[in-house]
Structure 1
């Protein structure tokens, strides 16, 4: 299987624009504890981290039991909202995924801070589940930027680190990929500004640029 390549995608801020659901659920979670919600940029700054870790950053002075209640309130609110309407795919995401999945030597994976239930729901909503042969999520691993998700994806697919790329919109995605010794590709349409993605091997502005960027990373261009 040494000839195979693996492309690992983050989800929120990379494949789907979920900020409306995130903001609404976060606001409800803070309100339930009698707290003013943080501004939207602060909420988006922790996207990619597992939810308990994200809330610990946003509400560091709240006792642990309070944060545990916020986690449950957030999950309930997010579930309600995504049941009503799925977060939209970014322009070009579907075409890019389908084109990569059609390549005989390319496998696709997911590494996300979402729960397994949340990941399954978003993939089902957009009919994309069949394209991803490895799906790593927050229920199975420590929070990003720990490399466990990427290492598990490599192990499941048998792909060598030098033949894999981690694609994401946050510095947590890039740090996770680097820690797992795979190449990293930052996307500029997500939730972290470009300066926070400076450690990535490459940056792209839109999905149309993805094939060329991957070829360059693998020395095919």
Structure 2
């Protein structure tokens, strides 16, 4: 039996973190005295590494200003998370825990994450939701170029010992899908995240987590 790897994006796919992301962005831009981006613009950059995100949100500012925005954002986001707790700050989407439990119990699947979060941010989130030991590979922004560069997926494949044909990327943004395609990995989109479904151009789009076993079975031609 071949082992297959299911790689998940985090923000907008597993957890709904847009509220604190938008508020932390508002605080960061206000602290710097820069115009606060529209909510739609903030949603559009979720998933990118912070340095790339700030450059897209404020292209007229200098790299030094972008760095200041990143640091201000981190301070604000950590403060919001500490105040509410990671589980409350970034709640799991409905059915996510049950889905992870069911997939994690399968002998033929390995689970991983590839996220624009920092290592510290991901560790806090996993701890807050009690998801320790669920994922065999954790790819974070600290160690890779920003999505859609394929480095995260390629590293996940290497760590899991799985080839591209035996892996799938699940995410909510075009960055996730482009990253996976660049690594020659199949894609599954979710419609509850932060990019319009039409922009994803995913191989499959879920209606809900209940659809996932059937989509995986179709992908690899195995029983659901």
Q: CA deviation at 1:45?
A: 0.3
Cα distance in 1 between the residues matched to 2:112 and 2:83: 26
| Corresponding residue pairs, total | 219
2:192 corresponds to 1:189: yes
Report SS of the residue matched to 2:138.
Answer: strand
Alignment of 1:1-221 (within 5 A): 3-85=2-84, 86=86, 87-198=90-201, 200-220=202-222
> Which contiguous aligned blocks of 4+ residues in structure 1 show a shift greater than 3 angstroms?
none
Deviation at 1:36, TM superposition (A): 2.2
Counterparts of 1:4 and 1:74 in 2: how far apart (Å)? 39
1:105-149 C-alpha deviation (Å, 9 max, x unpaired): 110000000000000000110011210010000001000000000
The whole-number CA distance in structure 2 between the counterparts of 1:203 and 1:66 is 38
Structure 2: gaps (5+ residues): none
Q: Please, which moves more after superposition, 208-217 or 109-118?
A: 208-217
Which stretches in structure 1 are left out of the alignment for 5+ residues? none
CA RMSD across the alignment: 1.0
Q: Aligned equivalents of 1:185 and 1:119: distance in 2?
A: 22
Deviation at 1:195, TM superposition (A): 1.1
Give the deviation of 1:206 after TM superposition: 1.4
How far, CA to CA, are the matches of 1:175 and 1:215 in structure 2? 23
Shift of 1:41: 1.0
CA distance in 1, matches of 2:39, 2:207: 22
SS of alignment partner, residue 8 of structure 1? strand
Q: Distance in 2 between matches of 1:78 and 1:208?
A: 32
TM-score between the two structures when normalised by the length of structure 1: 0.97
TM-score normalised according to structure 2 size: 0.96
Match of 1:181, SS state, is coil
